[in-house]
Amino acid sequence: MNFISTRGMEKATAAEAIVRGLASDGGLFVPESFPAVTAEEIASLSGMNYAERAAFIIGKYLGDFGADFLKEACAAAYASFDNADPAPLVRIGEGLYILELFRGPTCAFKDIALTLLPRLLKRAAELTGTEGEILILAATSGDTGKAALEGFRDVPGTKAAVFFPDEGVSRMQRLQMCTQDGNNVYAAGVKGNFDDCQRAVKALFLSESFNAELRKRGVRLSSANSINFGRLVPQIVYYFSAYADLVSSSQIEAGAPVDFAVPTGNFGDILAGWYAKKMGLPVGKLLCASNRNKVLTEFFKTGVYDANRNFYRTMSPSMDILVSSNLERLLFEVSGRDARLTASRMKSLSDGGRYEITSAEREALAEDFYAVCASEDETVEAMYDVFEEYGYAMDTHTGVAMHAAYFYREKRDEKDHTPVVVLSTANPYKFPQDVLYALSGNDVKDCFKGIKRLNLLTAMKPPKCLTDLRYKPLRFKQTLSADPAKMAAEILKFAEGEIVPVPASSGK
């Protein structure tokens, strides 16, 4: 299958799209057409394990990679998860389910893709004849950074560098990134918010001079953000997997629709659900759940995307985003694949922080999406209600999506009993203080004390990879301004082999 750019119809093979990450015109690669998955094929997924499902669905896009390779790569990637099923579906109430996507090595849904991406990237490099080292460069609102650093740790022929908003991630997320082991990794904070990080990183991808300097060093850039289709395609799988589980457990009949509530920041996770629908999965509504930074909610309701607004730091920091990169892929599709119009809208966003779609486009989006935002109080209330009624503890991002699910179920037609699957994107222990406060009203300042008290409250075992962070010394302590030139200088030193030493551990 070939891929095209959202801004200029630039073409690439699947392997080229994954190696490059971003099109040279600044656009995002999308499939030239959406592959179909038949009802019979969806039914066949019930007899497969998760790795087999992943190989099958991903193969629809990456057929050139080879069926045997995909089976082996998916089996190896998901063997690192702490559950036989990397994406288990939990029923918590009548017609209400939670899809747990945090069973991977860094306790976040990004592991679903980033345990597999290094294998896809290596295969893509082989298929394209790409020589030299590949440097993974990513902006992160918290979870992508750790998952990328862990996924690419000591993978031959690669380096991984991530930038995160210095005051825009949780304490646990910061510790996960800044204590990372490996001889090919780098992390730094950036003064500003995630949008500042993302803007600077995109500028580096498009900088001819920076890329030329990397080439002199035998290095080329690629991305671990969901702007890279290799990051996005594994996320399509868990929508199909959840549906197959609902059918095989007799919760629904084959062909019946299912709604999905998705906590949304950079729009990659929910876009994967829309791609699944385009492929033939019976998806009803995709509930776009936003926190107090409700730029997406207002976009779907008004047709105006306006990033010129106050930015709020919330208890769901991975969603504290005002410029949702993956929305560009959806805009491209809803415009009738008009690359020139998409490029014009993205330029308007870059220059003035704003663009507007037509009323016809907005109505088309309303067929598939329903947008809801949650205040901090509404997030806490949803988390508390679920714990009180079902004994289920969730993280703050899942709390935003749960609010959206409750809100939508109250507003829809009373005869509509379509099941709702809420995507749970992080282990509650990644945000222990906020989760503890939501469930008990107990406010603690120290995240490890929060883990202890949350464990006492819920009896849920905290992941060892998080509790061990207490004893790991900080390795990465640098904070930079959101200046592409200064960030480039640090990356070039990293590309040349300047590695921050791993400090001696004081572990117990």
**Active site residues per annotation:** 110
Distance between CA atoms of residues 491 and 188, nearest Å: 10
Instruction: Residue 437: name the closest of 483, 390, 387 by CA.
Output: 387
Say how far apart CA 226 and CA 233 lie, in whole Å: 9
CB 247 within 8 A of CB 254: yes
Please list, in sequence order, all residues whose beta carbon lies within 8 angstroms of the beta carbon of residue 196, skipping any fewer than 6 positions away.
165, 190, 482
Handedness of CA 315, 318, 324, 329 (dihedral sign): negative
Sign of the Cα pseudo-torsion (163, 147, 289, 232, in order): positive
Going by the DSSP 8-state scheme, the letter that residue 337 receives in this structure is S
Residue 402 CA to residue 264 CA, distance in Å, equals: 12
Q: Distance between CA 27 and CA 30 in Å, rounded?
A: 9
Q: Are 479 and 188 in contact (CB under 8 A)?
A: yes
In angstroms, rounded to a whole number, what is the distance separating the alpha carbons of residues 350 and 137? 21
Between the CA of residue 298 and those of 288, 295, 306, 322, 451, what are the distances in Å?
A: 11, 5, 8, 12, 36
CA-based nearest residue to 454, from 423, 425, 431: 431
Q: What does the alpha-carbon distance between residue 126 and residue 142 come to, in Å, rounded to a whole number?
A: 31
Q: Which is nearest to 237 in space by CA: 365, 356, 101?
A: 101
Tokens encoding 133: 């080292």
- Amino acid 241 reads S
